[in-house]
């Protein structure tokens, strides 16, 4: 058996293992300007295939959700693929809203071939503009005036003839018909003079009776003539209307024929023009209205049809979908709506204030993004859609029904009583692409039953790319393409190697390359700035290193304050010497987008007890659930490893000293176990080391996150106090493939001034930190004498014996009393 006092130390990692082994010699170009542009999307084949399928599949409910971390080029990939697909498609049809002359509050939607919508609008403007000149001319023509005069003369002559005959008849009967302000009155005559009451009374009865009879006769005849006057007036109006209709029809039909000849044969369009023809003929009088302020016809400018001459709006054409181009060319629309409010998404109806009231008409219908994208593609940010009131519900409704119906939030909630419009819905033929993070996708999948039916395609972008020789060459081409797109200097091979190493750090894995192209682009542009200052024609490794250091320096104020509190011994951290039950644990703090590591002193105290392990962080509600889980796991390890034939008779407490915020994660569970073992074995822990790693119930030390930041956090404290060559960090062996450390740490390891030691089991950490082997049970089930584990077990057995003796004493005292 090996001597348990002879410690076996795990070997420190060489400097070459602390970051990706890549060098400029791997690349055979002078600068990235010599490399061809990256035509695809490196490492995103799975997501690209899903997006291409969404762009090409003919079934309407195969909309796509593009999910991935921000910075991976989600929108750029989507835009490029959709524009490529859109270029092969025919232009979508136009959609216009026109007046519904029978029910004006329900405007009619008409689908037209591409470009015809704008042609129809212009044709209608020209039609009304022409009629505004032609119709007045028709009604001022000599032919119209002659025919109108004939009608008027016939009406006047018929009236005059009847009245003249009556006047002659009245004179023959010695009766006068007098015109008064109140109408006509009939009275008798005597000796050619009107009978006054006195003269009438002076007549004999026979004469009075004769006068009365004559007056009654003429008065009845006058009544018959006046009774026939409305009929004659009605007949007169009918003749005038027939003349006006005939004149207007001639002008309107000629103008409509000209419009029809310029437009294609479409049933809905022909039906609309027929209703326009009938309405123009019936309402020709609106063209005779005078407006001295109006010049150049009813449609002289872009806004005249809306404001200057409202009487002509009934004949306007509201182009909802249409680019106003020619019939030539192709390409479906690709619309990105950055503010997907309800109105911006499905359209809205605007209102104007007139004399204190809100009024609207079909010309005030405004299209939404779904209208503009009809026949093509629309790209929406999932979070923005979900954040806007009613937007997500409206989008789903449109996709379910296959049509776009315009309504307002006020109508939806019955808060508005203003007269509004109910326009025809427009069929929806748009592929919707939602872009969001994975959390959004999974939450929608779990909480919205409609989501899986409406968004059948999942385009999941990778965050990183496995590192191999082919990947490095493709990554170099991608870096060159990013530089070209950003308009900056190319990179020399050394700079490409440097950015590759940084890509592994961003990925948190030395065997993976990040695909966060936004962050890489930011680094390259900063490096280009420093290359400009250094007078370099190409970006060099020095420029990359300067950019990285400056990025870190700008964000490091909180890190410096944290480290300063340690170097000034406000926060107590030892980096040399030894102490029982005390160990340096490592954690990562995130401030905005910047993460840094810092050591924390973790201490343990033990004594006889009832098997309780007190996690002070948990008891004070400063510890998170995962941290508490780690403590319970190490408690399970203690119970199953030591003195298994007797009850656990331990009371122990664990705490992060001078920690006043929350603690979560299980990356300190290995340190907590080692502190407990040190306290139980009364074996000092070398304070030159810090450790990170989680532990399972079998004592294996497991991988954790943020290993690079944690190592650098302890290194910076040691460097500030002076590196002794003994200092180092113990990391889980599984984390060695995640190392991508900064140059300052690598140089210290190269010069044997700092150590990074991988450990796979708690026994390895015990041997290194406590200077003695942990010890394994022999064939008799006993730990080697003097080993750490033997000392721990002896201490726990002592606790159990003392607890048993204490119990007997208490029982005896109870019996005596």
Q: Is the dihedral of CA 374, 378, 383, 387 positive or negative?
A: negative
Integer CA distances (angstroms), 627 to 118, 581, 713, in order: 67, 19, 21
What is the helix (H) or strand (E) element at residue 108, kind and residue range? strand 108-112
Q: What are the beta bridge partners of residue 584?
A: 601, 690
Integer CA distances (angstroms), 480 to 28, 43, 475, 489, 507, in order: 14, 16, 9, 9, 20
Query: What 8-state DSSP symbol labels residue 17?
Result: G
Q: What are the beta bridge partners of residue 154?
A: none
What is the number of other CB atoms lying within 10 angstroms of the CB of residue 153?
Answer: 10
| Active-site annotation holder among 667, 669, 694, 787 | 667
Is 141 annotated as catalytic?
A: no
3-class SS of residue 365: strand
8 Å CB contact between 358 and 380: no
Cα(280)–Cα(252) distance, rounded to whole angstroms?
7
8 Å CB contact between 477 and 36: yes
Cα(542)–Cα(726) distance, rounded to whole angstroms?
31
Structure tokens at 436: 């969001």
| Active-site annotation holder among 678, 710, 772, 787 | 710
- 403-431 residues labelled b (16+ CB within 10 A) or e (exposed): bbbbbbeeeeeeeeeeebbebbebebbbb
- 537-566 residues labelled b (16+ CB within 10 A) or e (exposed): ebbbbbbbbbbbeebeeeebeebeebbeeb
Residue of 57, 58, 47 lying closest to 80 (CA atoms): 47
Cα(257)–Cα(270) distance, rounded to whole angstroms?
11
What is the helix (H) or strand (E) element at residue 354, kind and residue range? strand 352-354
Q: In the Cβ-directed half-sphere of 321, how many Cα atoms lie within 13 Å?
A: 31
3-class SS of residue 341: coil
Structure tokens at 387: 């954040």
Structure tokens at 82: 């959709």
Cα(233)–Cα(222) distance, rounded to whole angstroms?
17
Is 710 annotated as catalytic?
A: yes
Cα(323)–Cα(346) distance, rounded to whole angstroms?
18
Residues in the chain: 817
Structure tokens at 547: 């950019």
Residue numbers annotated as active site: 667, 710
């Amino acid at each position: 058996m090996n001597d348990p006092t002879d410690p076996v130390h795990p070997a420190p990692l060489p400097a070459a293992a602390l970051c990706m082994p890549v060098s400029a010699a791997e690349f055979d170009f002078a600068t990235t300007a010599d490399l061809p542009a990256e035509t695809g999307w490196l490492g995103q084949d799975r997501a690209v295939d899903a997006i291409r399928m969404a762009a090409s599949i003919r079934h309407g409910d195969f909309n796509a959700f593009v999910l991935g971390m921000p910075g991976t080029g989600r929108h750029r990939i989507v835009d490029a693929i959709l524009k490529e697909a859109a270029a092969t498609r025919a232009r979508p049809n136009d959609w216009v809203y026109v007046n519904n002359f029978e029910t004006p509050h329900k405007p009619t939607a008409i689908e037209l071939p591409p470009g015809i919508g704008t042609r129809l609008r212009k044709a209608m403007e020209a039609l009304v503009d022409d009629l505004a000149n032609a119709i007045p001319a028709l009604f001022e023509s000599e032919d119209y005036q002659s025919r109108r005069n004939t009608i008027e003369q016939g009406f006047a002559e018929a009236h005059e003839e009847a009245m003249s005959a009556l006047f002659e008849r009245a004179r023959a009967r010695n009766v006068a018909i007098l015109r008064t302000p109140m109408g006509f009155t009939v009275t008798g005559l005597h000796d050619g003079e009107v009978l006054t009451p006195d003269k009438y009374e002076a007549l004999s009865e026979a004469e009075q009776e004769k006068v009365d009879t004559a007056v009654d006769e003429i008065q009845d005849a006058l009544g018959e003539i006046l009774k026939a006057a409305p009929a004659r007036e009605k007949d007169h109006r009918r003749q005038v209307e027939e003349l006006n209709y005939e004149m207007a029809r001639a002008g309107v039909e000629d103008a409509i024929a000209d419009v029809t000849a310029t437009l294609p044969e479409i049933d809905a369009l022909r039906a609309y023009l027929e209703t326009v023809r009938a309405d123009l003929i019936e309402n020709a009088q609106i063209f005779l209205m005078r407006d001295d302020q109006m010049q150049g016809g009813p449609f002289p400018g872009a806004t005249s049809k809306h404001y200057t001459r409202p009487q002509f709006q009934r004949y306007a054409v509201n182009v909802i979908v249409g680019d106003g181009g020619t019939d030539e060319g192709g390409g479906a629309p690709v619309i990105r709506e950055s503010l997907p409010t309800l109105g911006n998404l499905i359209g809205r109806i605007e209102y104007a204030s007139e004399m204190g009231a809100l009024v609207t008409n079909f010309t005030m219908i405004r299209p939404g993004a779904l209208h503009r994208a009809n026949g093509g593609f629309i790209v929406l940010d999932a979070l923005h859609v979900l954040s806007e009131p009613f937007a997500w519900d409206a989008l789903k409704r449109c996709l379910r029904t296959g049509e776009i119906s315009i309504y307002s939030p006020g109508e939806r909630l019955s808060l508005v009583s203003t007269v509004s419009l109910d326009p025809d819905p427009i069929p929806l033929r748009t592929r919707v692409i939602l872009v969001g993070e994975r959390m959004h996708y999974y939450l929608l999948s779990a909480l919205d039953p409609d989501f899986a039916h409406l968004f059948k395609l999942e385009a999941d972008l990778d965050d990183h790319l496995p590192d191999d020789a082919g990947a490095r060459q493709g990554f170099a081409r991608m870096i060159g393409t990013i530089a070209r797109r950003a308009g900056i200097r190319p990179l020399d091979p050394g700079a490409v190697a440097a950015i590759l190493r940084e890509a592994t750090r961003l990925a948190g894995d030395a065997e993976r390359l990040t695909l966060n192209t936004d962050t890489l682009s930011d680094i390259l542009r900063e490096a280009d700035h420093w290359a400009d200052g250094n007078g370099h024609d190409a970006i060099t490794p020095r420029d990359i290193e300067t950019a990285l250091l400056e990025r870190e320096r700008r964000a490091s104020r909180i890190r410096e304050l944290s480290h300063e509190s340690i170097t000034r011994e406000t926060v107590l951290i030892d980096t040399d010497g030894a102490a029982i039950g005390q160990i340096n644990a490592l954690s990562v703090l995130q401030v905005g987008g910047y993460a840094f590591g810092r050591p924390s002193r973790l201490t343990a105290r033990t004594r006889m007890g009832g098997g309780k392990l007190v996690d002070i962080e948990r008891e004070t509600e400063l510890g998170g659930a995962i941290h508490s889980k780690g403590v319970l796991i190490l408690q399970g390890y203690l119970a199953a490893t030591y003195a298994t034939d007797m009850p656990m008779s331990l009371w122990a407490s664990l705490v992060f000293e001078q920690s006043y915020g929350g603690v979560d994660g299980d990356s300190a569970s290995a340190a907590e176990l080692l502190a407990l073992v040190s306290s139980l074995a009364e074996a000092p822990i070398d304070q030159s080391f810090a450790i990170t790693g989680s532990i399972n119930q079998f004592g294996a030390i497991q991988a954790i996150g943020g290993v690079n930041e944690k190592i650098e956090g302890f290194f910076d404290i040691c460097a500030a106090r002076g590196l002794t060559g003994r200092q180092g960090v113990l990391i889980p062996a599984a984390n060695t493939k995640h190392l991508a450390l900064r140059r300052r740490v690598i140089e210290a390891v190269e010069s044997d001034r700092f150590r990074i030691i991988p450990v796979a089991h708690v026994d390895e950490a015990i041997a290194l930190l406590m200077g003695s082997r942990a010890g394994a049970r022999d064939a008799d089930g006993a730990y080697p004498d003097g080993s750490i584990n033997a000392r721990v077990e002896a201490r726990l057995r002592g606790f159990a014996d003392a607890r048993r003796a204490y119990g007997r004493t208490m029982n005896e005292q109870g019996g005596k009393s």
